[in-house]
Structure 1
Amino acid sequence: MVREDTYAADPEDALEMTRIMEQDQLVTKGMGGIFPEGDIPDDIQHILDVGCGSGGWVLDVAYRYPECEVVGLDVSEPLLAYARARASVQQRHNACFVQGNVLSDLNFAEGEFDLVNIRFATAFLLRDVWVPVLKKLYHILRPGGIIRVSEIDTMGITNSLAVENLLSYLYRTLGKMGYGFSPDHKTMGMTAALKGLFTAAGFEQVKLFPWVIDFSCGTELHQKQYENYIATFDTLKGLAAKTGIATEEEFQAQLNQMHVDMVQEDFQGVWHILTARGIKPL
């Protein structure tokens, strides 16, 4: 079956699905909640989460704001089936999940949503489509509506050479494949680009909110980031070899050392995330 999405990894691969689910919980907790920058305005009633994955953010928002209708959009039907099952068990009747590709026509009306959220779209949007996609989301937001995008330049900064080498493989591989905005592919280059992307799509009053997740050894989120890395690098190994960034032997040697480094008591790591919020003008 030919995929119509541009996800770097196959979102229907079992390991990748598990990674998406675990990372969702890690990031929400690490950032300090679903809207760590502050409660949404009272006039927000209809919310869309683009690339919702297993639906964690949607369900959390639906619980926190029971008066809102929250819609999750994703290309992966298996992930959406899991999200719908969770919604049913949790009795989140104000949450629903729709299969769709943001690169294609969206079956939403003009001005249908009050707020649109996207998190880590650099994993599924090539650099050339960012502005066209944001313009589509501009269309389905009402005047005065909010666009909210959380992005990263790196998947963390650590004191482990092996982890840093693996992350370098990641950024160079994805950069070569057409993701991110870094001119030298030493990072993903997303956070510096967000404000300009918003402006190019027509959004105004752009505000930036930085977050830091500490995943050093002994912290609450250390194990989850360790597992996130393992799943990420398992997928990356083949891509790095295919793009000529690193041989599988080189990659495996760094991965073996990462397993040693990350369980040391002196392992240190932080992950910087930036949320940009913009407004569709009245």
Structure 2
Amino acid sequence: MTSSAGTAAGVLVLAGTPIGRVEDAPPRLARELAEADVIAAEDTRRLKRLTTDLGIEPTGRVLSYFEGNEEARTPYLVELLEAGNRVVLVTDAGMPSVSDPGYRLVAAAVEADIEITSVPGPSAVLTALAVSGLPVDRFCFEGFLPRKAGERSRRLADLADEQRTMVFFEAPHRTEAALAAMADAFGADRSAALCRELTKTHEEVVRDGLGALAAWAADGVRGEVTIVVSGAPEAGPVDDPATLVAWVADQEARGVSRKDAIADVARRAGVPKREVYDLVHKKGAV
């Protein structure tokens, strides 16, 4: 068991940065950046623009920390933390480690028993969820979908029965293809919201079925995109033997073990596992 208080002299600060308007920056952000011993930034040029907009001049060292050097630079940052430095980690927008660099450093800091805290800030995930108009009582964040069509389709097939509201990030030039793939996997009528340029001057939220959104995106989409998709409706009990057997076969074809497939199908159908087991093995014996 580890404690978030830690025992090391240094402190790692995960600092949320604006996803659009600089005035959304939390008040504490300016102080942390101004007083940090070290600032690890995903893009040092964007950090410079941010500090200028905040009216501050950092006195500490500024180091780049992005996907390309994250693995190599993490041990060095841990050394700095162990030496007693206050290290502030910022990404281009939003909270570090949420589809941005940071998780690797946090995990290493936890392992080294270093104190970790945060400057809570804007989040595209929560902002999109809040304005989507879709259920927010239960949700999951799925990040970016795979770029390759086959891998993307398999990922979405695995989510077809997800009953929680789902939040995705997507690149603008892949948005139409992603929405079309979602329509194929979840149904063209599944309710969704496409949130573009959240909190920025050209903010736009389009709410419709996935099929209609894919058609809307065919003309091109610009800016940062977050897609919110309603979860699958809760199904009532399914007692058709052929349907239950077909569901198990479909899961097995995707690499799921028969035992796990039977358990999952029983849960989804609202029937005892033994009933599904008997149906599957009876068919196999025919």
Normalised by the size of structure 1, how large is the TM-score? Answer: 0.35
With CA pairs under 8 Å and 6+ residues apart, which has the higher RCO, 1 or 2?
Answer: 1
Normalised by the size of structure 2, how large is the TM-score? Answer: 0.35
